[in-house]
Structure 1
Amino acid sequence: MKTNLKMNDVSKTEFLNDVAEEMAKLLKKPLPAVMVMLDDCPMCMNRSEDTVVFSEFRYVLPREFADNKSGFLKQFADTMLLVIQKHTKVDPYRIYMQFTEMDRQSAWRYTE
């Protein structure tokens, strides 16, 4: 994730922990298998330096969603939107999320 919002160390840690916990639940993965990164950097959108967040999520589709990928992605996006807004108070129109599905056979596996 990248944002132009300046956060103190406690806020960053709480944000990263919340994102990791929600992702672990969504992806049915143990928490030690979830990596979350946050970079603060200059960002501008529509000529404004108001708070903006860009997030890239890489995932292996949980097996129970094999026939409902769009439902899974909606749940994933809705959950991450709530967590991001909770910690940043950013306008939802200034949050961009990119989702990349990893092939189960070629992805690193912590556990099955």
Structure 2
Amino acid sequence: MPIAQMKTNFKFGSDAARTDFLDEAASELSVILRKPLPAIMVMLDDCSMYMNKSEDTVFFAEFRYILPQECADCKSEFLKELADRMLALIQKHTHVDPYRIYMQFTEMTREGAWRYTG
């Protein structure tokens, strides 16, 4: 199961704005990772975050994924697309300075990942 685990000190203006972000993140990941939407998990934690002696908005995201088989020969291009699209999405919804967004990508093996059975 592809998972996006995100943490931020950004305060969304409403529950609807937060849900819109989560919906769009799940949809983008579904397309990029070539997985059905029900197989995508996104998590968002609000927490205290402090960086460079500042509590300005900061965003951390970890993406765990299985590399689509058709991308096996172009992994660097796949990761660039994933990073670029998620960076744009995070900025669209939070307006956070891109130098205060940190992303980590973890590739899982097919054998070690949960399998969607729907």
Over the aligned positions, Cα root-mean-square deviation in angstroms equals: 0.8
Q: Does 1:79 align with 2:85?
A: yes
2-structure distance, mates of 1:78, 1:109: 27
Q: Does 1:63 align with 2:69?
A: yes
Larger strand percent: 2
TM-score under structure 1 length normalisation: 0.96
Q: Which residue of 2 aligns with 1:2?
A: 7
- Report sequence identity in percent: 68
Q: Does 1:28 align with 2:34?
A: yes
Report runs of 4+ in structure 1 exceeding 6 Å deviation.
Answer: none
Secondary structure at the aligned position of 1:36 is classed as: strand
Secondary structure at the aligned position of 2:27 is classed as: helix
TM-score under structure 2 length normalisation: 0.92
Structure 2 residue corresponding to 1:100, chosen from 87, 98, 106 = 106
Which residues of structure 2 form unaligned runs of 5+?
1-5
CA drift of 1:109 comes to 1.4
